[in-house]
Structure 1
Amino acid sequence: MSSTYVHYSTTPSSLPSDYAVLSRYAAAHGLTDATTTDESSALVEGQALNDDDTSTYDFEDAELTPEARALLRRKSRRSSFPTSYLTPFNPTSMGALPDDLGHRSGPAPRNITATENTPLLAPLVPRIEEEVDEEDVTPSSVAHPNVLWEEMRILSKYTLPVFGTHVLEYSLVVASVVSIGHLSTTALAASTLGSMTASVSGYSIIQGFGSTLDTMLPSAWTSSQPNLVGLWSQRMAIVMAACLVPISMIWFNAESILLALKQDPEVAHLAAVYLKWAVLGLPAYSFNTVSRRYFQSQGLFAVPTRVIVCVAPVNAALNYLLVWGPKPFRLGFIGAPIATAISFNLISICSIIYGVWFIPQTAWHPLSMRCFTNLGVLVQLGLAGVGQTASEWWSWELVGLAASLLGPVALATQSVLLVSASTTFQAPFALSVATSVRIGNLLGEENPIRASYASTAAMLMALVIAMIWSAMFTAFRNSWAYLFNNDEDVVSMVASILPVVALFQVFDGVSAVTAGILRSIGKQFTGALLNLSAYYVIGIPFGIWLTFSHDFGLVGLWIGLTISLIYAAGFGVWICLRTDWDYQVQKVKARIAADQKAGVRHDVEGHQ
C-alpha cells in the first residue's frame, strides 16, 4: 500500500487549536456561504468569532443557544481535529475520495491557497461517518429506543458483507474436501485429517493473533492518528511471520507426529503430503487475516467480500482442473491443497491491488523501523487471542474424537450436526466482527455512550438471530438430516439431538458476540479464561461423563457443549454490561498518545 499520504506531524506543540482548525477548514471549504452563515448567526447571540479569536474564545462562558451548545459538543467530541473526514492537503486540486459501505469520503474541497496561517497538518480527520454519530447522545437519553435501533441498523449494514466473506472463504475449504472426496475413502480421510491438523496447529493460531487487530485498528482509524492503522498492521505482519516458522516445521514433520498419535500409516502419509503442499498458502492466509481487518477497520467491509467473490469461482475451477482435469493439468490428490494455496495467494494479490489503487491511503504508514516497536503488546494480546479463539476450535476436534468412539452412526450424525452448527454460526460470528469494528471506531471517536448502546444492540441482535436458527432446527428436526444423508439411523439420531442443538444456538450466538465485544476493548485474556474454563473445565468433561458413564450417547456431548456455552454467554454478558466505557476511551487515548510519543522519539533519533 502506497505511502502517498500526508505525513501527520507527531509533535504536540505544533498542533493548532481545535476551534482554529475548525474555523480554517470551514473557510477553506467554502462553508461561509449563506447557509452556514445563517447557522452561525443562530449559534452565538451577539458574538462574532473569527480565525484569530477562536483558539482562545471561552465557549463555556459564552451565552449560547441550546442549538449552539449541541453543535459545539459535536464539533469538539474528540480532542483534536473535529471535522468528519481528512483528505490529503493539496492546494490546487482535490476531488472526493472513493467511498464504500459505511465509509464517507466527504465533499470535494475547493481550491485552497496555502498561506502562513495554513495548518501544517491535513485539515480533516478520517473516520467512519454515520449520520447518527453527530447526534448529541447523553446519559439521560438511555431510555430512548431510537439509539438502539440506530445501532442495530448500522451493525446490520456492517454484518452482511462480513457474513458473505466468511461463507465464501469457508467454501474454499469445502471445495477442497469435495474434490478429494470422490477419489477414494482413504484420500477423503487423509484430506479431513490434514485439514483438521492445519486448523488446530496453524489456522487457529493465526486467527488468534489476528484478533489483536480487532482491538488496535478500529480505534486507531477514528483517532487523530489514522495512519496507526497501517503501522499496527505492519507490526502484526512481523509477528505473523515469526509464527509461521514453528507452524511450518510442524506441517513439514506432520507424518511422524500423526503416527505417534496412532493414526493409520497410509492416511498419515497422505495427510502429511496434503500439509506440505498447503504450506504454499500459509503466508498468504496470514496476510489475508491482517489485510481483511485493515479494510474492515476503515468501514470498507465490502472490499474483502468483493475480492473473495472473484476468487471463489476460480478456486472451484482450480480444484476441478488440478484434481480431475485433463492430463497436462491433473495432479490428483495434491491438486486440492495446491488449488487452495493458489486461491489464498490470489486473495492477497487482489487485496494489495485494491489497497494501493482503489482506496484512500490515509490509513497507510510508510515502511520504517517503527514497525519493529511495540511487538510485545501484540504478542501478549495475541497469545490471549489464541487462548480465546483456538481453545474453541480445539474443543470441537476433541468432541469429534469422542464421537468417533461411539461408532459410525454417531460419527456420521456428529458430522451432520457439526456442519449445520458451523454454518449457522457464521451469522453471529460476522456480527461479532462488525461489533468489534463499530465499538472500536466509537472509542476512537471518544464516544463512550454510543459504544455502550452498540454493545447492547449487538447482544440483542445475537439473541434474535439465534432464536431464528433455533426455530428452524426445531421445526425441521425430523427431515433435516436428509440434506446430508439418507441413512434412517442417522436421520433418527439427528432428529433426537436437534432440540438440544436448537438450545445450543441461543447461547452460541450470544457468546460469539460477547467475545467480539471483549476483543474490541482488549480483553482477549478474559475471553480466553472464559473459553478455557467453559469448555475444558465444565462442558467437555461433563459431556464425556454423561456420554460414557451414564450411556447418554452423542446427546451427552451436546448437553455438555450447551452447558459450557450457557456459562460463557452468561459471564460474557455480565462483563459487557458492567464495562466502564469512559475508562475504555481513556485506554484508547493513552495507547494513541504512547504511540505518538514513540513516533516523535523515533523521528528525532532518525534525524540524529
Structure 2
Amino acid sequence: MGSEATAVDNLQQPLIEPMKSEVDFRMESVLTDKHLPYFRRLYFASLIELKFLLNLAAPAIFVYVINNGMSMLTRIFAGRMGSMQLAAASLGNSGFNMFTFGLMLGMGSAVETLCGQAHGAHRYDMLGVYLQRSTVVLLLTGLPMTLLFFFSKPLLTSLGEPADVASMASVFVYGMIPMIFAYAVNFPIQKFLQSQSIVTPSAYISAATLVLHLIFSWLAVFKLGWGLIGLSAIHSLSWWIIVLAQVLYIKMSPRCRRTWTGFSWKAFDGLWDFFRLSAASAVMLCLESWYSQILVLLAGLLKNPEVALDSLAICMSISAISFMVSVGFNAAASVRVSNELGAGNPRSAAFSTAVTTGVSFLLALLEAVVIISLRNVMSYVFTDSPAVAEAVADLSPYLAITIVLNGVQPVLSGVAVGCGWQAFVAYVNIGCYYVVGIPIGYVLGFTYDMGAKGIWTGMIAGTLMQTIILLIVTFRTDWDKEVEKASRRLDRWEDSQPLLKQ
C-alpha cells in the first residue's frame, strides 16, 4: 500500500509543466517496484511517460510546422511576383534547400546521441563540448556545399531545366547560401536543447521568427523590390534570427548554466570520429527523405504522367502534413531513450520505446481512418479536376498504409539515434529502400503496367521491410548492454573506441 501511495504521489503534478533538467528516476523506480502489482506498475509508468511525451513531442511538432511555414511563405511571395518566379523558388526550395536541410539535420543528429546520453549521466560539461564539436563539423561540411549553390545554374541546365527557369532559380539559390551556415549552427543547438528536454523556448522563437519573416518578406517584395534574391536572402536572415535567439537563450538561461560553460579547445578533439557519427546520421536521414522523392520522379516517366503526378503530389502533401506529427515523436523517442540510457535506466528506456511507438502508431491509425473516410472529397482542397480527384481517391488506401507505417518508422529511427545505431540503420535503409523498394516499384509500375499504384506498392514494401527489421532489432535489444555501451561511449570519447554500433 505504501509503494502504491508513493507512485500516486509521483503523479500529482500538472500534465504540462516545464521539463526538469535532470533525468527523472520516478519511472525506473515504479517499474522496478515489486511491491506493486504488474499492471499497476504499467499504469503508473505509462502516465509518467505520457507526460514526458506531451512535453517533448508537442513543441517539436510546432517547431517543424513553423519551419515549413517559412518555406511556404517564401513560395507564396514568389508566386505573387509571377509564375516563373514561383517555379524558380520552388525549384530552389525543393532541390537545393531540401538537400542541404536534410544533410545538415541528419549530421546534427549526432548531438542527440551524445548530448542525450551525457545529460542522462549528469556529465553536463560535455554537452557544451559536443555542441561545439558538432558545429565545427557542420560548418566545415557547409564550405564545399556552397560550390553546389554557386554552380546551380549550369547544374540545373545540365539536368534539363529550361534556361530561363535555371537562371532565375540560380539567383534565388544565391540568396540561400547564408542559410547553409545557419543550418550548421542551428541543428546542433536544437539537439543540444532537446537533449535537456528544453523544447518550448525553441517553439516560441520559431513562432516569433515566422511573424518577422512574413513582415520582412512583404517589405522585400512589395516595398523594396529586391526580387528573388532578396526573398531568399530574407529566408536566410530568418534562420539566422532563430540561431541568434537560441544562442542568446543558452547564454542567459539558468537551465543551461551547467551544460554551457563557454568555448573549449576540446571541441577540436576527435573531429574525425564525430564526423563519422554525423555522416552516418546524415545518410540514415537522407536515404529516408529521398525515398519518397524518387517515387515522384519515377511517376514522371509514366505514359501520360500529368494525372499521376498531380495525384501523387496531393498524396505526398497530405502525407507530409501527417509526417509532422511523427517528427515530434521521433524527437521525443531520441531524447527519452538517450537520457535513460545515460542515466543507467534500462527498463525506462525500453518502456519509453514501447509507449512512444504505441502512441504514435495509434495516432497514425486514426489519421489513416480519416484519410479513408474522406478519400472522395479531400483532394478538392488542392484541385478542381475530377480526374485528379478520382486518382487521389484510388490511391488513398496506399496513402493510408504509408501514414500508418510512418507512425512507427520515425519513432524507431529516433530510438536508433538515442542508442547510437545510425550506421546500422543506414545499411538497413539502403537495403530496404534502394535494393528492395525501388526495384519492386519500378517492375510493378512499368513492367506490369500498374502505374503509380505499382510504384507506390514498391515504396510500401521497402518501408514495411525496414519497419519490421527495426521492430525486431529494437524489441530484441538487451537494454542493460545498451546502458553499458552508453557508459563506455562517454568514458572513452577521447580514445579510439568506435562510436557506431558494430
Q: Is TM (by shorter chain) over 0.5?
A: yes
Could you say what the CA RMSD is over the residues aligned between the two structures, in angstroms? Answer: 2.2
Residue 592 (structure 1) aligns with: 490
Pairing 1:124-163 to 2, within 5 Å after superposition:
127-129=22-24, 131-135=26-30, 137=32, 144-146=41-43, 147-163=45-61
Q: Who is 1:447 aligned against?
A: 345
Does the CA contact (< 8 Å) of 1:103 and 1:128 recur in 2?
no
Q: What is the aligned partner in structure 2 of residue 520 from structure 1?
A: 418
Q: Check conservation: 1:138, 1:449, Cα contact below 8 A.
A: no
User: Once structures 1 and 2 are overlaid, which stretch shifts more, 218-227 or 143-152?
Assistant: 143-152
Verify the 8 A CA contact 1:200 1:390 in the aligned structure 2: no
Tell me which of the two structures has the higher relative contact order, counting C-alpha pairs closer than 8 angstroms and 6 or more residues apart: 2
What is the match of residue 331 of structure 1?
Answer: 226
CA distance in 2 between partners of 1:579 and 1:192 (Å):
43
Give 1 or 2: higher helix fraction: 2
Equivalent position of 2:10 in the other structure = none
- Once residues 216 and 457 of structure 2 are traced to their aligned partners in structure 1, the CA distance between those partners, rounded to angstroms, is 41
Contact 2:27 2:348 in 1 (8 A): no
Equivalent residue number for residue 335 of structure 2: 437
Rg bigger for which structure? 1
Compared CA separation, residues 102 and 174, structure 1 to 2 (3 A): same
Deviations, residues 314-342 of structure 1 (Å, cap 9, x unaligned): 1122222212x12xx12122232112111
Q: Which runs of 5+ in 2 are unaligned?
A: 8-15, 497-502
> Structure 1 residues 139, 528: CA separation in 2 closer, same or farther (over 3 Å shift)?
farther
User: Which deviates more from structure 2 when the two are superposed, residues 299-308 or residues 397-406?
Assistant: 397-406
Alpha-carbon distance in 1 for matches of 2:427, 2:237:
36
- Alignment correspondent of 1:463: 361
Q: Distance in 2 between matches of 1:435 and 1:193?
A: 33
Identity of paired residues, percent?
Answer: 23
Tell me if 1:349 matches 2:244: yes
Check conservation: 1:155, 1:434, Cα contact below 8 A: yes
Q: CA deviation at 1:490?
A: 1.1
Contact 1:322 1:335 in 2 (8 A): yes
Distance 1:597 1:569 in 2: 34
Please report how far the alpha carbon of residue 529 of structure 1 lies from its aligned counterpart in structure 2 after TM superposition: 1.5
Residue 379 (structure 1) aligns with? 275
Q: CA deviation at 1:224?
A: 3.4
Please give the per-residue CA displacement for 1:252-298, whole angstroms capped at 9, x wherever unaligned.
11111122222211111112111111012221122111111111111
Identify if the C-alpha distance between structure 1 residues 574 and 102 changes in structure 2 by more than 3 Å, giving closer, same or farther.
farther
Q: Which residue of 1 aligns with 2:176?
A: 278
| AA of the residue aligned to 1:347 | I
CA distance in structure 1 between the partners assigned to 2:172 and 2:327 by the alignment: 28
Contact kept, 8 Å, 1:228 with 1:365, in 2: the verdict is no
Q: CA deviation at 1:527?
A: 1.3
- 1:1-150 aligned within 5 A: 101-104=17-20, 127-129=22-24, 131-135=26-30, 137=32, 144-146=41-43, 147-150=45-48
Question: What aligned pairs does 1:257-268 form with structure 2 within 5 A after superposition?
Answer: 257-268=155-166
Q: 1:547 aligns with which of 441, 445, 462?
A: 445
**Which amino acid counterpart does residue 336 of structure 1 have in structure 2?**
L
What is the one-letter code of the residue matched to 1:295?
Answer: L
Residue 500 of structure 2 is matched in structure 1 by none
Distance 2:199 2:98 in 1: 27
Aligned partner of 1:405 among 277, 284, 301 = 301
Tell me which of 295, 299, 302 is aligned to 2:197. 299
Q: Deviations over 1:101-125 (max 9, x none)?
A: 5433xxxxxxxxxxxxxxxxxxxxx
1:117-266 to 2 correspondences below 5 Å: 127-129=22-24, 131-135=26-30, 137=32, 144-146=41-43, 147-199=45-97, 201-266=99-164
Mapped partners of 1:556, 1:179: distance in 2: 37
Q: Greater shift after overlay, 128-137 or 529-538? A: 128-137
Q: 1:587 to 1:272 in 2, by over 3 A?
A: same
Matching residue of 2:326: 428
Superposition deviation, residue 142 in structure 1: 6.3
Tell me if the contact between 2:28 and 2:347 (Cα under 8 Å) persists in the aligned partners.
Answer: no
Does the 8 Å contact 1:200/1:394 carry over to 2?
A: no
Displacement, 1:550? Answer: 2.0
Q: 1:358 to 1:484 in 2, by over 3 A?
A: same
Kindly state the Cα deviation for residue 453 of structure 1 after the two structures are TM-superposed.
0.4
Question: Counterpart of 2:383 in 1: which secondary structure?
Answer: coil
Runs of 4+ aligned structure 1 residues displaced above 3 Å come to 128-136, 138-144, 595-598
Deviation at 1:593, TM superposition (A): 2.0
Worse-matched range after superposition: 192-201 or 481-490: 192-201
Alpha-carbon displacement from aligned partner over 1:58-112 (angstroms, at most 9, x marks no partner) = xxxxxxxx98xx99xxxxxxxxxxxxxxxxxxxxxxxxxxxx95433xxxxxxxx
- Contact 1:429 1:509 (C-alpha < 8 Å) held by counterparts: no
Note closer, same or farther for the CA distance 1:189–1:244 as it changes in structure 2 (3 Å cut): same
Superposition deviation, residue 396 in structure 1: 2.4
Output the CA distance in 2 between the equivalents of 1:592 and 1:381.
Answer: 14
Give, in whole Å, the separation in 2 of the partners of 1:397 and 1:162: 24
Whole-angstrom CA distance in 1 between matches of 2:299 and 2:90: 15
Alpha-carbon distance in 1 for matches of 2:89, 2:494: 48
Structure 2: how far apart are the matches of 1:230 and 1:414? 43
Deviation (angstroms), 1:128: 3.5
Displacement of 1:212: 0.9
How far apart, in 1, do the equivalents of 2:237 and 2:38 lie? 50
- TM-score, normalised to structure 1, is 0.75
Given the two structures, how large is their TM-score scaled by the length of structure 2? 0.90
Which residue in 1 is equivalent to 2:11?
none
Q: Deviations over 1:447-466 (max 9, x none)?
A: 11111101111111121011
Q: Name the CA distance, whole Å, in 2 between partners of 1:298 and 1:331.
A: 41
Q: d(CA) in 2 for partners of 1:138 and 1:404?
A: 58
The amino acid of 2:297's aligned partner reads L
Tell me, yes or no, if structure 1 residue 568 matches structure 2 residue 466. yes
Question: Structure 1 CA distance, aligned partners of 2:165 and 2:376?
Answer: 35
1:269 aligns with 2:167: yes
Distance 1:243 1:574, change over 3 A: same
Match of 1:538 in 2: 436
Write the distance in 1 (CA, Å) between the matches of 2:423 and 2:339.
21
User: Within the alignment, does 1:363 sit opposite 2:259 as a pair?
Assistant: yes
Displacement of 1:145 in angstroms is: 2.4
| 1:580 has 2:478 as partner | yes
- Taking the TM superposition and a 5 Å limit, the aligned residue runs for 1:491-510 are 491-510=389-408
The one-letter code of the counterpart of 2:426 is A
Distance 1:350 1:304 in 2: 9
Correspondence for 2:288: 392
Once the 2 structures are TM-superposed, how far is the Cα of residue 408 of structure 1 from its aligned partner? 2.2
SS at match of 2:492: helix
CA contact (8 A) 2:53 2:356 kept: yes
Per the TM alignment, residue 150 of structure 1 is displaced from its structure 2 partner at its CA by 2.9
State the shift of 1:409 in Å.
2.1
1:101 and 1:299 in contact (8 A); partners too: no
* Structure 1 gap ranges (5+): 1-65, 72-99, 105-125, 599-608
- Distance in 2 (alpha carbons) for counterparts of 1:415 and 1:133: 45
User: Which residue does 2:499 correspond to in 1?
Assistant: none
Tell me the SS of whatever aligns to 1:227. Answer: helix
